[in-house]
């Protein structure tokens, strides 16, 4: 994004995002999640100008697709909500929501009060919250169990719950998925790391969907063949579940 030395400028960032969106559309994906993964080091608090640029990005991608568009700034959770409101995002992913978490870049504070305040101020444009529970690349500082954090996220109106392994590319354990589903009270459970065509039949039993990137990318770009293979694996899993039912 603009503000980083190697940024090509916001117009090229938008072009890149739309190009990637076209690949995901062709493959049969059902939603788009924009994240600033390339911005290193990740900032715990971004500037107002950064939020304006990201809102512009969200609006441009929404104008280019009929799919739901979500967004996250790593690791500014309040900034994510602000950009989501300004850009009219359909949902936001919050890596940290209910539990203080230590990441490589510092300590990211839980943000339930700030989120509630922003919801009160902009109820008509407030995006859905998709909340990670004990997210990858982070150390939970709250001392809460997976079940306790799951219940708390639901109490604070999370509309989807995301379960991950400990690092990028590592799937969550089946036990963690089952534990979260037990306390999810019907809120959709999404696998947020390590989901692939190879394990779709196994993980698909314990989740309602997935957020994917690295398993379907080649050199940082979404690969159409890999994306299609993943979608086909998910469809086979769904058809199998219907038949067995």
Model confidence band, residue 152 (pLDDT cutoffs 50, 70, 90): very high
Which residues sit opposite 190 in a β-bridge? 162, 209
* Mean pLDDT computed over 169-186: 94
Structural domains of the chain, ranges and CATH numbers in brackets = 10-244 (3.20.20.70)
> How far apart (Å, rounded) are the C-alpha atoms in residues 90 and 73?
15
**pLDDT for the residue numbered 240:** 63
Residue 81 pLDDT > 90: yes
**pLDDT for the residue numbered 157:** 97
* Mean pLDDT computed over 71-83: 97
**pLDDT for the residue numbered 244:** 46
**Using one digit for the tens of pLDDT, what is the confidence trace for 18-40?**
999 999 999 999 999 999 999 99
**pLDDT for the residue numbered 237:** 82
Residue 245 pLDDT > 80: no
Average pLDDT over the chain reads 95
Number of other CB atoms surrounding residue 2 within 10 Å = 15
Kindly state the percentage of the chain with pLDDT values over 70.
Answer: 98
With a threshold of 0.85, does the pTM exceed it?
yes
Closest CA to 100 of 135, 55, 58: 135
**Using one digit for the tens of pLDDT, what is the confidence trace for 129-141?**
999 999 999 999 9
Model confidence band, residue 78 (pLDDT cutoffs 50, 70, 90): very high
Residue 243 pLDDT > 60: no
> How far apart (Å, rounded) are the C-alpha atoms in residues 177 and 161?
10
**pLDDT for the residue numbered 49:** 97
* Beta-carbon contacts of residue 194 (< 8 Å; ≥ 6 apart): 164, 165, 169, 170, 171, 172, 215
Model confidence band, residue 242 (pLDDT cutoffs 50, 70, 90): very low
């Amino acid at each position: 994004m603009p503000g980083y030395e190697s940024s090509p400028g916001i117009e090229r960032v938008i072009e890149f995002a739309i190009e990637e969106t076209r690949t995901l559309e062709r493959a049969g994906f059902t939603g788009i999640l924009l994240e600033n993964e390339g911005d290193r080091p990740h900032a715990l608090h971004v500037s107002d100008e950064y939020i304006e640029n990201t809102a512009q990005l969200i609006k441009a991608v929404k104008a280019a697709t009929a799919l739901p568009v979500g967004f996250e700034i790593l690791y500014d959770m309040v900034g994510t909500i602000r950009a989501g409101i300004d850009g009219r995002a359909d949902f936001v992913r919050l890596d940290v929501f209910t539990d203080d978490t230590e990441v490589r870049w510092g300590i990211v504070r839980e943000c339930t009060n700030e989120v509630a305040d922003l919801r009160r101020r902009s109820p008509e444009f407030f995006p859905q919250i998709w909340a990670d529970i004990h997210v990858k690349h982070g150390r939970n500082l709250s001392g809460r169990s997976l079940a306790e954090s799951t219940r708390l996220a639901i109490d604070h109106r999370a509309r989807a719950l995301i379960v991950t392994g400990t690092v990028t590319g590592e799937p969550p354990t089946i036990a963690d998925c089952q534990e979260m589903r037990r306390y999810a009270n019907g809120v959709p459970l999404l696998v947020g790391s390590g989901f692939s065509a190879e394990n779709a039949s196994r993980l698909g039993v314990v989740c309602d969907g997935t957020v994917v990137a690295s398993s379907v990318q080649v050199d940082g770009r979404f690969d159409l063949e890999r994306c299609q293979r993943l979608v086909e694996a998910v469809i086979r899993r769904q058809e199998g579940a219907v038949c067995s039912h």
